[in-house]
Amino acid sequence: MVSERDVEHIAELADIGITKDELGEFTPQFNEILEYFDLLDSVEGTSPATRDLTNIFRDDTVVPGLSADEALANTPEKEDGFFKAPRVM
């Protein structure tokens, strides 16, 4: 069982933002879903740490990419050729 406080904490971890009203809605839904997930407790076996597959490598060849202008085209918030983001510190 998760409490409204737990759900608030998860929302904080996920940077998802949640209102008080939504806590009352999401919490019972999570409990119903997590109760269903409990059937995994009885699953036997493990997932193998290695599989019969090998990595597929390729040479690191330089190919044309997006220009800075193309990469920045989808935001109005830019400055001196960079994306502008909210303050981190």
Residues that bind another protein (CB under 8 A): 2, 7, 10-11, 13-19, 22, 26, 29-30, 32-34, 36-37, 39-48, 56, 58, 66, 70-71, 73-77, 83-88
Handedness of CA 59, 60, 64, 70 (dihedral sign): positive
Assess contact for 31 and 2: CB atoms under 8 A. Answer: yes
- Least distance to another protein, CB of residue 71, Å: 7
- Least distance to another protein, CB of residue 38, Å: 8
Q: Are strands 82-83 and 78-79 parallel, antiparallel or unpaired?
A: antiparallel
- Least distance to another protein, CB of residue 12, Å: 8
Could you identify the residue written with the tokens 């740490």? Answer: 49
Looking at residue 76, the DSSP 8-state letter turns out to be S
